Amino acid sequence: MYVFDAYALLAFLEAEEGGVAVKDLLEAPGNRFFISAVNLGEVYYTVLRERGMEVARLVESELSMAQNIRVVEATWERAKAAGQLKARGGISYADCFAAALSIEKDAPLLTGDAEFERVSDKVNIHWLTKKKKGLKK
């Protein structure tokens, strides 16, 4: 079981560094994945901005059909958990949703986004890249 940050899905979708590792995990039998609706929104707007509406809709359709990826709603309890992480500083609010979901599910967070260093004492991070770098937003 794993939790996606937007970085991980974008690396896979855009064939960037770390994308092959995500592909391997997605193809491994029995693996299950969670992503916050907030982080999926990040993926959507990034694809929309960089590739246009047609590709964004295709990505949305493909992800909705994936049997092993579950989109988790941003409930008030999850927003509070993200807010508690955000209050520590140095990490975006959207990234806090991924971190909070990782804690909730007790599952490694897939990312290459260096902002997560700031919560690495609370979150089990599965780094997708050797050299951690920020997500293009």
> Which one-letter amino acid corresponds to residue 134?
G
Cα angle for residues 27, 68, 126 (degrees, 5° grid): 65
The answer to whether residues 6 and 110 touch, using CB atoms and an 8 Å cutoff, is no
What is the biggest distance separating any 2 CA atoms in the chain, rounded to whole angstroms? 40
Rounded to the nearest 10°, the torsion over CA 30, 112, 129, 114 is -150
Q: Determine if residue 106 is labeled as part of a ligand binding site.
A: no
SS3 111: strand
Q: Which residues define the annotated binding site for Mg(2+)?
A: 5, 95
